[in-house]
Structure 1
Amino acid sequence: MFRTVLIANRGEIACRVIRTLRSMGIRSVAVYSDADAGARHVRLADAAVRLGPAPAAQSYLDIDAVLAAARSTGAEAIHPGYGFLAENAGFAQACDDAGIVFIGPSAESIRVMGDKITAKNAVEARGVPTVPGIAKPGMTNEELAAAAGGIGYPLLIKPSAGGGGKGMHVVESAEQLAGSLEAARREAAASFGDDTLFLERYVLTPRHIEVQILADAHGNVIHLGERECSLQRRHQKVIEEAPSPLLDEATRARIGEAACETARSVGYRGAGTVEFIVPADAPDEFFFMEMNTRLQVEHPVTEEVTGVDLVEQQLRVAAGETLELEQDDIVLDGHSIETRIYAEDPAAGFLPTGGLVEHVRHPEGEGVRVDTSLEDGLLVSVDYDPMLAKVITWGRDREEARRRMVAALEDTAVVGFTTNVEFLRALLELPDVVDGNLDTGLIAREFNGLEFATPGEREFREAALLMDAARGSSADPWRRRDGWRLGESAPRRFPLVAADGTTHTVLLSGTVDAPAVVSAADTKPDAGRTATLPALVTRRGQEVAVTIGGVGRSFTAVVGPEGVQLTRRGALFDIRRVRADHSVHGEAESTPTLTSPMPGTVLVTSVEDGTTVVEGDPVLVVEAMKMEHVIRSTVAGTVALNAAVGDAVSRGQVLAVITPEATEGTDGGDGSDVSSAHTENPESPEKEGSVA
């Protein structure tokens, strides 16, 4: 067995691999970029080596730097995690050439399965069913368009390289095809360095089911059951579970054997996942989509129901050991569900967020596991994938695992910026999800019906009490800031605004030590409605309890005299005090200014400076956390660009200004009646297809 292993990755997966290395007595080496110098995985490892600046191309994707780090620390093997270099055949070959063990399959296996066209042809030759379509290397847009008619609409454009849904587009009609092909090529080239595309029939109401396999270098191949990954958004998995609630035992055995046959087709070695698309209305049918030649993000649910440590098995296989497990040894016990915690704002179209983690609280309890790199003080940038952590639950059956997950998410708090925790909790309560009636388009269909928490009168009262307490008190009446005066204390007025624009005014009386809520109203307090409610604020670090009128509610909060961020049931409420000289309503809705909706990088400028545009014309494309967002004009006029391709931009930064054309019924260039720019995501079709 290896004495020292380097983890060529970051974040929660690096922490996860270190945990198994430590349990096996193996020395761990972390690598990091400048952005991750203070990250948790760096501190957990026995040694750590700097790779380079924050951009992945200059750090985590720098093969020479990773190999140099391995040599300098005496690492005999490299675990690639997932993402970055995990499925890079050139990296696997470079490790082999350097005499360092790559903990994964051979470079040739990665090449064959990493190209979806060659992979499809390889498994077809072994009798594994595949989705009808056309998959030939080097096809031009014109050739693909000519073949599309024979496949029929809707169809799915897929990049031959890569995975994770990037570059995939559902096309409903021939009119959409040309634009979708151009976008898919650009995204595939940017994400994978390869713009080869192919087409498949789009399977209606598809379910995404994948099978975990293990194979050693001695010809032994087994599967560890399947995972259901049908809950997806923009071709990205959101919630996974094992086993699938769809399959019966006979189909489970057949799909498992097809997965093993797929692995045998390339002489696979290590842990891998074979992904299938299964029509919801014909669960006994399945079609091969691709093979992921690495550990999957969702591998914990398989570990929970089988009791097998997949990272340990990867290490043993890479060290040349024979699999001790046989197929009959694999027994599925209970049910497991995983949710992915992302730095994104579901209510704002899932735009990336990020920033400073003021405080994090992870759930605990029976049947709850958390794989994470999150901790207080972590700065989450847009340089890398937005996934922050994974919450995994186990139950004796699916409903127990689901209930435990809902409770775990309610007990999860990430204070500092918006995450998708509340969205995940609401999704798990949908009737179809409760019943296991899943497909890859469910989120797109049901999203508008999901109810997200909005701050109510209670939250505004709590925010006012916390801000009041944050001002402090003093034994010296001349230094007190709570309205103290001879006689009755003066009431303290808190005009407040939430992040969604909701406003409320709270009036407090009494002292900071013994406050009382006099009233909470949108307008000046009405004496007829005034009710005095005694309040008590109890703080223990950043865990806060507020009791108003004898009824207490607990939450996690970061408090200042001018604002509060409080998290309850996974929902983050950002409430600020409004000053007399500050309008709570911005002017963006009445100015022709295009601003960035999130921090990121300008990927494309669709027009040149001075170009005349009409309403709806694309002006720029901003990329953040591997997502592209098209920024379009909502007014006709002349563009003045304030940003160029490659510029790093912040949320709200002005990217361009459009001088409106004078038209009948408007004020022209002086106070034109225009609305703000809006964004759209080119990877957000009305229907979602099954994905890699």
Structure 2
Amino acid sequence: MNTKLFDTVLVANRGEIAVRIIRSLRTLGIRSVAVYSDADAGALHVSEADKAVRIGPGPANQSYLSIDAILKACKDTGAQAVHPGYGFLSENVDFARALEDAGIKFIGPSVKSINLMGDKIRSKNHVVAHQVPVVPGIAEPGLSDEQLLAAAGQVGYPLLIKPSAGGGGKGMFAVETPEQLPEALASARRTARSAFGDDTLFLERLVRNPRHIEVQVLADQFGHTVHLGERECSLQRRHQKVIEEAPAPLLENLEHGAQIRERIGAAAVAAAASVDYVGAGTVEFLVSDENPDEFFFMEMNTRLQVEHPVTEQVVRVDGQKLDLVDWQVRIAAGQPLDFEQHQVSLQGHAIEARLYAEDPSAGFLPSIGTVLKVIEPIGEHLRVDSSLRDGLEVSAHYDPMLAKLIAWGDDRSVALGRLDRALSQTVVLGVLTNVEYLRLLLADVDVAAGRLDTNLIERKMQEFAFRTPSARELALAAHLEVNRRPTSGSPWGQGDGWRLGSRLATQLHFEVNGEQLQPSVQRTGDQSTVNISGEEYVVQPLGDNGLSINGERFSSHHAFATDGTLWLNEDGWSGWVRRLTRQEILEAKLATLAKESGTFSPHIESPMPGTVISVQVSDGEQVSAGQLLLSIEAMKMEHQLLSPADGTVRLTGLTVGDLVKAKQVVATVEPAEVEHETTINQEQNA
């Protein structure tokens, strides 16, 4: 059947997935339309598309989650179809229905399939009726906190809170004891409401140390459904996938792995066929590491997955690779699958790493700012799906994922080696990323051996030692700082420390990983001698615009931000050195004096730019050390701010929805001891 494809397709998404979809549309000869918020005006997907349409301000609920804005963009551009990517509206039944009513094709499953499988409670109850094993729990729509609290005892501890409308691990909380459940439910509801617009929750028994195995399915409109092998996504942090690979090492390492692959693939096909599924989808299972023959249905993602590239890299149909986006478009246009299950085979091994804008050494706090410099790796059997570009503004409004690196090899060890080399060659300056963390993870002995489970990262994190800027890099920063200062034509404005007698060294104040360091710099022409804690480093420019330090060439990539921060990168590691202002130097000295006197800072500061999502206390309320005061959200990550001591809290007037800056004071706590002393003084004066 030679069905005509669409003329124009609108991509209702952003970032690396929008770029990836646009490039497949270009290959098919289809005109692409990008949508963007004010925060994404300079994003890569905007320039990659044939046409781009603004749909609203930065917050996702006013732009990428606005059904009306997407529909208007379709009508204004003549788009005949919409590809939703993943996240945002990709599993929103109201969006699919609105497109259907408007006569615009949704490149995805039917409203019926999304309704049944896009909701975890409905999908779980549906597959139970089709004799598919599920994890014990309680999954009913509309359960209140009181009902969940009452049912928790029957489910049993430890248990897992899951949002019904969710995906990507957002809003999922593991709870060990009944005492932890009320606050965990409140936090899960806030996260689910913010991320999905639906705070419905359910409970499952927590299966400790399971393997996360998922199966890619593809189905056309004529009842033909195939599976494209499995992926293993067991390497997760807080239920968010970090490393994904295909085929699953669990099955590859078993003598009867092929039989399990056949069984779990057949179960995935049956689950998809039970809802007349059309398009690309993923059926996810928990598999017991101790007994791989036993698996439990978790959910079906009625969309393309972040990790779909590893499937594309290993699956062959009569020896040829597949493009899943290509097939999504063809199926939506009414074309049938032109192959059957027996024609599908797997070749080699592929591994994907997700590159995030975050600081793993600081509890994975989101990193926000302007990307100053990007160098992406290039090599045989290496694929990079990326939204990165020089000048990209990484905002707090969206998920922190910037790119995906995918490596293929004849076997798993070759793929692992290629991915690690690719990460070592990746340069992103201006925001912190998780590249170093990914390399540490790939180097772990259990990861290298394929001994994976969903709790491995939590166990291993304490063993990871993150690098900090070295003395060489600090010397480089000092040299570049004194040589970048503007000078006048007058000898008095050269700033090189010249005076009668010996030259005066320039004293600098730097912040490095939250600590202050004070190198001194003596300039002699273009050369600098930097003294750091009594050690001298001679920095000398080279003829090819390079630099040497103590006679050794320095190969690190570096770039200055507008605030005077020097960003550095070497072998995948990145860090920064920032020159402090006079005000910051004074504040630091005062804080040191306070610390030496035995007191503590009463100020509660936001660790990152973000949005206030909850205020748990009232102004003037008595609080205890460790009590939750406020919660800040950035890049879909919630950070809880706690009281440092017993005392009285003073709020700064912030309310839910307010934006805050990094290091902004959001509350103060007057310690109980100070109150007690004040009361005594008042009584004595009386």
The answer to whether the superposition gives a TM-score over 0.5 is yes
Matches within 5 A, 1:220-259: 220-247=224-251, 248-259=257-268
Alignment of 1:618 with 2:628, yes or no, is yes
Which amino acid is the alignment partner of residue 559 of structure 2? V
| Structure-2 separation of matches of 1:559 and 1:92 | 46
Q: Residues of 2 paired with 1:378 and 1:471: CA distance?
A: 26
Pick one of 646, 657, 680 that aligns with 2:668: 657
Q: How many residues align?
A: 657
1:645 aligns with 2:656: yes
Give 1:493 shift.
4.7
Question: Which of 574, 577, 581 pairs up with 2:576?
Answer: 574
Equivalent residue number for residue 360 of structure 1: 374
* Within-5 A mapping of 1:213-612: 213-247=217-251, 248-306=257-315, 307-471=321-485, 480-483=494-497, 491-501=505-515, 503=517, 505-512=519-526, 515-517=527-529, 520-522=531-533, 525=534, 533=538, 535-537=540-542, 545-559=546-560, 563-577=565-579, 582-583=585-586, 587=591, 590-612=600-622
SS in 1 for 2:515: coil
Match of 2:118 in 1: 114
SS of the counterpart of 1:404? helix
Deviation digits for residues 589-616 of structure 1, max 9, x if unmatched?
A: 7221111111111111111122121222
Give me the whole-angstrom Cα distance separating, in 2, the residues matched to 1:464 and 1:634: 35
2: distance between equivalents of 1:536 and 1:135?
66
CA distance in 2, matches of 1:470, 1:127: 70
Matches of 2:516 and 2:416, distance apart in 1: 33
Q: Which moved more, 1:367-376 or 1:260-269?
A: 367-376
> Could you tell me whether the CA contact under 8 Å between 2:509 and 2:516 is conserved in 1?
no
Q: 1:141 to 1:493 in 2, by over 3 A?
A: closer
Gaps of 5+ in 1: 671-692
Cα separation, partners in 2 of 1:669 and 1:108, compared to 1, 3 Å: farther
- Residue 379 of structure 2 aligns to a residue whose secondary structure is coil
Q: What SS does structure 2 have at the residue aligned with 1:587?
A: helix
Instruction: Pick closer, same or farther for the CA change 1:100–1:552 going to 2, 3 Å.
Output: same
Change (3 A) 1:180 1:489: closer
Question: Residue 659 of structure 1 contacts residue 669 of structure 1 at CA under 8 Å; is this kept in 2?
Answer: no
CA distance in 1, matches of 2:444, 2:677: 46
Q: Does 1:153 align with 2:162?
A: no
Equivalent residues of 1:6, 1:30 under 8 A apart: yes
Q: Is the 8 A contact 1:489 1:510 kept in 2?
A: no
Instruction: Name the structure 1 match of 2:684.
Output: none
Farther-moved stretch of structure 1 (468-477 vs 274-283): 468-477
CA distance in 1, matches of 2:547, 2:380: 28
| Alpha carbons 2:230, 2:261 under 8 Å: kept | yes
1: CA distance, partners of 2:629 / 2:490: 59
Q: Which moved more, 1:467-476 or 1:53-62?
A: 467-476
Q: Does the CA-based 8 Å contact 1:613-1:639 persist in structure 2?
A: yes
For residue 2 of structure 1, give the secondary structure of its aligned residue in structure 2. coil
Greater helix content: 2
**Partner deviation per Cα, 1:159-203 (whole Å, 9 max, x = no partner):** 222222222221212232333233333333333333332221211
Q: How far did residue 53 of structure 1 move?
A: 1.4
Contact 2:475 2:539 (8 Å CA) reproduced: no
Q: Would the alpha carbon gap of residues 134 and 586 (structure 1) be closer, same or farther in structure 2, given more than 3 Å must change?
A: farther
Contact 1:212 1:226 in 2 (8 A): yes
- State the Cα distance separating 1:474 from its structure 2 match: 9.4
1:412 to partner: Cα distance: 1.3
Q: For the structure 1 residues 267 and 497, does the alpha-carbon distance in structure 2 shift closer, same or farther, using more than 3 Å as the test?
A: same
Question: How many Å separate the matches in 1 of 2:552 and 2:135?
Answer: 58
One-letter amino acid of the counterpart of residue 575, structure 2 = F
- Cα distance in 1 for partners of 2:423, 2:679 equals 51
Shift of 1:504: 5.1
Deviation at 1:26, TM superposition (A): 0.6
After TM superposition, the structure 1 stretch with the greater mean CA deviation from structure 2, 175-184 or 610-619, is 175-184
CA separation of 1:509/1:57 partners in 2, compared to 1, >3 Å: closer, same or farther?
Answer: closer
CA contact (8 A) 1:466 1:559 kept: no
Q: Letter of the 2:552 partner, please give it.
A: V
Deviation of 1:125 after TM superposition, in Å, equals 2.4
Q: 1:488 to 1:397 in 2, by over 3 A?
A: farther
Q: Which amino acid in the other structure matches residue 442 of structure 2?
A: L
**Secondary structure at 1:150's aligned position in 2?**
helix
Amino acid at match of 2:541: L
Partner of 2:21: 17
1:180 to 1:563, Cα distance in 2 relative to 1, 3 A: closer
Gaps of 5+ in 2: 252-256, 316-320, 682-686
**Aligned pairs (5 A) from 1:82-161:** 82-161=86-165
One-letter code aligned to 1:51: I
Contact 2:539 2:547 in 1 (8 A): no
CA deviations on 1:143-169 (whole Å, 9 max, x unpaired) are 333433333221112122222222222
Secondary structure (helix, strand or coil) at the match of 2:345 reads: coil
Distance change >3 Å, CA 108–CA 573, structure 1 → 2: same
Greater CA drift, 86-95 or 580-589: 580-589
Q: Find the aligned partners of 2:407 and 2:544 in 1 and give their Cα distance.
A: 30
Q: How far 1:490 sits from its partner (Å)? A: 5.7
Identity among equivalent pairs (%): 54
Which amino acid in the other structure matches residue 673 of structure 2?
Answer: A
8 Å contact from structure 2 (residues 496, 522) kept in 1: no
Cα deviation, 1:519-556, whole Å, max 9, x if unaligned, reads 5332xx4xxx66x746235776xxxx432233223122
Q: Distance in 2 between matches of 1:668 and 1:327?
A: 80
Inter-partner Cα distance in structure 2 for 1:502 and 1:164: 38
Asked if structure 2 preserves the Cα contact closer than 8 Å seen for 1:484 and 1:490, the reply is yes
Does the 8 Å CA contact 1:466/1:537 hold for their aligned counterparts? no
Aligned counterpart, 1:69: 73
Identify if the C-alpha distance between structure 1 residues 613 and 538 changes in structure 2 by more than 3 Å, giving closer, same or farther: farther
Which has the higher mean CA deviation after the structures are superposed, 583-592 or 454-463? 583-592
Distance 1:475 1:197 in 2: 69
Quickly say closer, same or farther: Cα 1:473–1:537, change in 2 above 3 A.
Answer: farther
Determine helix, strand or coil for the equivalent of 1:328: helix
CA shift for structure 1 position 669: 11
Alpha-carbon offset, residue 580 of structure 1: 7.2
TM-align CA RMSD: 2.5
Distance, in Å, in 1 between the alignment partners of 2:368 and 2:590 is: 22
